[in-house]
Structure 1
Amino acid sequence: MCRLGSRPARVRSLVLAPYIGQPTRSGGWSFALLRQASGPSPPRKPGRPRRFRVKVVLVTGDNSREEYDEPDAMRTFLVGKGVPDDRIVSDFAGFDTWDSCVRAKKIFGVDRAVLVSQGFHIRRAIALCREAGIDAYGVGVDAEHDVTWYYGGAREVFAAGKAALDALFEPDPHFLGPRERGVADALAAASR
């Protein structure tokens, strides 16, 4: 696992969806990301960075097809791992990293976030979220180098070019929509 950037003061976690596969799957590299977002803070080992817990998790991903629902699959996993449901906010229109970052800022009011994503994706995610106006810190989760990992790594080469264009032209997301109170309400629930 690699950590990038300096940690924001008020921490919210933004989990950028991996390819989920079967929502009922309990293992595998996709869910390593969610374990990182939900896991307890164990005692720090000497020489290791301190872990921290987040107050709210915004799960963002694709929900464009009835049979493919990344946010609900992530929510189900996190609730199963003990994260209170009222601390999880779903963004169903995070069709790509730029959309997820812009929607987190403009729709959900996220100013600071810890991003949790694949190790090969985290630098691009941090750069795009910062370009969207979020004080972002990243946790890249390393994974077994299987076929899916190699596909993601190869895809990242092309995605980096798209990210550069997104940062340069700053297009609106596919679905911008009205402001939502989900993150603010979840923060209020976390403060009780």
Structure 2
Amino acid sequence: MRVSLVVVGVLGLITAGASTWAWAVSAGHIEVAGERGDGADAVRAPVAIVLGAAVHADGRPSPWLAHRLDIAADLYTSGRTEAILVSGDNRRVGYDEPTVMRDYLTSKGIPSQAIALDYAGFDTYDTCVRARKIFGIESALLVTQDFHEPRAVAICRSVGLSVDGVGDSRARHDRISWAVSWTRERPATIKAVIDVVSRRNPTLGRRETSVAEAINWTREHRR
């Protein structure tokens, strides 16, 4: 019994420490989008990075991913960003988050030339490192759900990517799913600390110019 209490206490301290790290690093760099999914209060940055999430077999994004993409579309059309990087999982045959994300954005009127795809954003850490090292991004808006913002922003800023988070708050209307996801953030944040401290190397590969090309295309066509 005493050993169990010690283990629970240690795990509690580790969880609290990881959460404190996330909130401390992300403090002052988190925005929450409006209920309509707009980024009206967001700061400006050259790129909006949309973190991937589940997609359906019929090519539709899951509701939470659609909310992220709606925010990114608003950031682009309102002039707060000049390109959108969609980053997600493409490891399994027939499963392709980035392509679904791009197709959804183009259906909302975002030019395909303004969208860059990262097919190896297998988790938040991978996306952040690849955005900096592969796509050459220095400053960006990071779009995800609000409960995910502290961890996501903290990871990116810890690997040298200057980001401000723009979070979707509409997930709170589904209280059970939101509570489950919020709870899952605790162990995920511990993993994030381990990734950052160990400097885990994600899948990298060759340098990509697609983000720079998307920014240049937008600048030329907004004149």
TM bin (shorter chain) = 0.7 to 0.9
- Label 1:162 to 1:41 Cα distance change in 2 as closer, same or farther (>3 A): closer
Deviation of the 1:87 alpha carbon: 0.6
The equivalent residue for 2:184 is 155
The equivalent residue for 1:178 is 206
- Label 1:89 to 1:11 Cα distance change in 2 as closer, same or farther (>3 A): same
Q: Structure 2: how far apart are the matches of 1:127 and 1:40?
A: 21
Q: Structure 2: how far apart are the matches of 1:97 and 1:17?
A: 9
Partner SS, residue 147 of structure 2: coil
- Label 1:10 to 1:58 Cα distance change in 2 as closer, same or farther (>3 A): same
The equivalent residue for 2:218 is 190
Q: Structure 2: how far apart are the matches of 1:149 and 1:191?
A: 38
What is the one-letter code of the residue matched to 2:106?
Answer: V
Equivalent runs, 1:1-192 vs 2, <5 Å: 3=31, 10-22=45-57, 24-25=59-60, 28-39=63-74, 53-142=80-169, 143=171, 144-145=173-174, 148-173=177-202, 175-192=203-220
Deviation of the 1:59 alpha carbon: 0.4
What is the one-letter code of the residue matched to 1:168?
Answer: V
What is the one-letter code of the residue matched to 1:19?
Answer: A
What is the one-letter code of the residue matched to 1:114?
Answer: L
Q: Structure 2: how far apart are the matches of 1:189 and 1:41?
A: 13
Note if contact 1:115-1:136 (Cα within 8 Å) is conserved in structure 2.
Answer: yes
- Label 1:39 to 1:9 Cα distance change in 2 as closer, same or farther (>3 A): closer
TM-score by structure 1 length?
0.85
Note if contact 1:58-1:91 (Cα within 8 Å) is conserved in structure 2.
Answer: yes
Partner SS, residue 190 of structure 1: helix
Partner SS, residue 120 of structure 1: helix
Q: Structure 1: how far apart are the matches of 2:206 and 2:158?
A: 21
What is the one-letter code of the residue matched to 2:123?
Answer: D
Partner SS, residue 13 of structure 1: strand
The equivalent residue for 2:20 is none
Give CA deviations for 1:4-62 in whole Å, capped at 9, x if unaligned.
Answer: 7x9766431000112233454377232011000002689xxxxxxxx753110000011
Moved more, 123-132 or 138-147: 138-147
Give CA deviations for 1:128-163 in whole Å, capped at 9, x if unaligned.
Answer: 111111110001101132554344223212110100
Q: Structure 2: how far apart are the matches of 1:141 and 1:23?
A: 24
Gaps of 5+ in 2: 1-29, 33-40
- Label 1:26 to 1:163 Cα distance change in 2 as closer, same or farther (>3 A): closer
Partner SS, residue 106 of structure 2: helix
Q: CA RMSD in A?
A: 2.4
Identity of matched residues, %: 39
Note if contact 1:23-1:73 (Cα within 8 Å) is conserved in structure 2.
Answer: no
What is the one-letter code of the residue matched to 1:104?
Answer: A
Count of residues in Structure 1 that have an aligned counterpart in Structure 2: 181
Q: Structure 1: how far apart are the matches of 2:61 and 2:134?
A: 30
